[in-house]
Amino acid sequence: MVVPGSFLSTEEEFLPGENSYVSSDGRVYSDSVGVKATDHEEKAVNVVKKGRALKLVTRSCIAFCSVILVKDQSVVVDIMEAYDPQNESTVVVFKGLNATLPVFSVANSYVKDLKELFKIGDILKCRVDNVSEFGIDLETKTDDSLGVVKAFCTVCRQPLKLVEANLKCSSCGSNEIRKISSDYLVK
């Protein structure tokens, strides 16, 4: 049994066949969940899918993420769920799938400090900008619905309510700033 990203062979041994791909370093990997099958006649390695077809995170998918780390130049998130907006199908997300939201992909204007716009524990709605062997890059600048959809107070950890254009904690009265999505949940 193999999963996406499982090493199958080197390009010198077997060429990529069905449901497999070759990376820039000449190694062949699986792009699906299934069983490894080598075709010695064609000199190719395939992945035979079992059961229903699974769709993985790809460019332009919409992802709901939880912020786990905010750095100077990027926000690291844990992808909880994703869907393909083209056909509204759910995308398979493996537990512990992390992604990065670079500072230049947050807004169309200058972002002075990411630590003002995002806090650990915030729930984000992002679009997948790039998927590569190095990781998943997200963006929130192309649509008003992208950004923080649920934020938590940094003082008491209660959900922040959207009051007009500001986030306010109903428990302790704290006012906070985030990159708010037009789909913000707590009003």
**DSSP of 49-62:** E-SS---B--TT-E
**Looking at the domain assignment, is residue 135 inside a domain?**
yes
Q: How many CB atoms are located within 10 Å of the residue 4 CB?
A: 18
- 35 within domain boundaries: yes
Number of domains observed in the structure of the chain: 2
Instruction: Report how far residue 186's alpha carbon sits from residue 160's, in angstroms, rounded to the nearest whole number.
Output: 7
Question: How do the residues of the chain divide into helix, strand and coil, expressed in percent and rounded to 5?
Answer: 5, 45, 50
Whether residue 57 is contained in a domain is answered as no
pLDDT of residue 164: 86
Please tell me the least confidently modeled range out of 22-31, 65-74, 120-129.
Answer: 22-31
24 and 78 in a single domain? The answer is no
pLDDT at 90 over 70: no
pLDDT at 94: 64
Of residues 28 and 34, more confidence is placed in 28
**Residue 181 domain flag:** no
Tell if the pTM clears 0.75, that is, is over it. Answer: no
Q: Does the structure show a pLDDT above 80 at 33?
A: no
Range of the domain at 132: 62-176
